[in-house]
């Protein structure tokens, strides 16, 4: 079963800066892509499933074109760095982001808990940019 999460009540400006904030009262859960018609008014699509992750990279949980008001796509997958869902969103001029930034932030917190040493939040962005820069 596929569970894409659809977020509402954000602005296009927030999406373009990667600042996607969530009001949990406005989360809608679609149990299957066939329910997309119920969420045509959503503004953000968040894929929190493994659908599209390596090695099955030629699939996506939902066609973003079925959500005409969609302003941004967040695919929490980070391998591959650009998923089919993200490529499709980009083709529709919908900004898309992967889950690498979240992974780096989680690693920072895990390291702090393990070592007892605080790491500046600025390191998240530094490490993310190092990992996200093509060689």
Query: Does 104 lie in the same domain as 60?
Result: no
Query: Does 108 lie in the same domain as 74?
Result: no
CATH number, domain of 20, equals 3.40.50.720
Residue with tokens 């889950």: 99
Query: Does 94 lie in the same domain as 115?
Result: no
CA distance 28 to 70: 14
CA distance 5 to 64: 12
Query: Does 56 lie in the same domain as 27?
Result: yes
CA 11 to chain centroid, in Å, comes to 16
Question: How confident is the model over 81-92, as a mean pLDDT?
Answer: 96
Query: Does 22 lie in the same domain as 66?
Result: yes
Query: Does 113 lie in the same domain as 48?
Result: no
Q: Give the domain range for residue 115.
A: 99-135
Question: How confident is the model over 59-87, as a mean pLDDT?
Answer: 90
Say how many domains are in the chain.
2
Q: Is pTM beyond 0.75 here?
A: no
Q: What is the pLDDT of residues 98-119, one digit of tens each?
A: 999 999 999 999 999 999 999 9
132 — alpha (psi -120 to 50), left (phi > 0) or beta? alpha
18 — alpha (psi -120 to 50), left (phi > 0) or beta? left
Secondary structure (3-state) at 45: strand
Query: Does 34 lie in the same domain as 77?
Result: yes
Query: Does 74 lie in the same domain as 49?
Result: yes
Tell me how crowded residue 92 is: count the other CB atoms within 10 A of its CB: 15
Query: Distances in Å between the alpha carbon of 1 and those of 32, 67, 134?
Result: 7, 20, 34
């Amino acid at each position: 079963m596929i569970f894409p999460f659809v977020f509402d009540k954000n602005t296009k400006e927030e999406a373009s800066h990667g600042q996607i904030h969530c009001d949990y009262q406005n989360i809608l859960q679609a149990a299957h892509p066939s329910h997309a018609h119920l969420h045509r008014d959503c503004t953000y699509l968040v894929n929190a499933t493994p659908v599209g992750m390596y090695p099955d990279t030629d699939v996506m949980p939902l066609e973003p074109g079925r959500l005409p008001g969609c302003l941004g796509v967040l695919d929490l997958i980070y391998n591959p760095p650009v998923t089919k869902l993200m490529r499709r969103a980009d083709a529709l001029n919908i900004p898309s982001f992967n889950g690498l930034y979240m992974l780096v932030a989680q690693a920072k917190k895990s390291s702090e808990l393990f070592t007892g040493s605080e790491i500046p939040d600025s390191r998240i962005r530094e490490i993310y940019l190092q990992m996200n820069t093509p060689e």
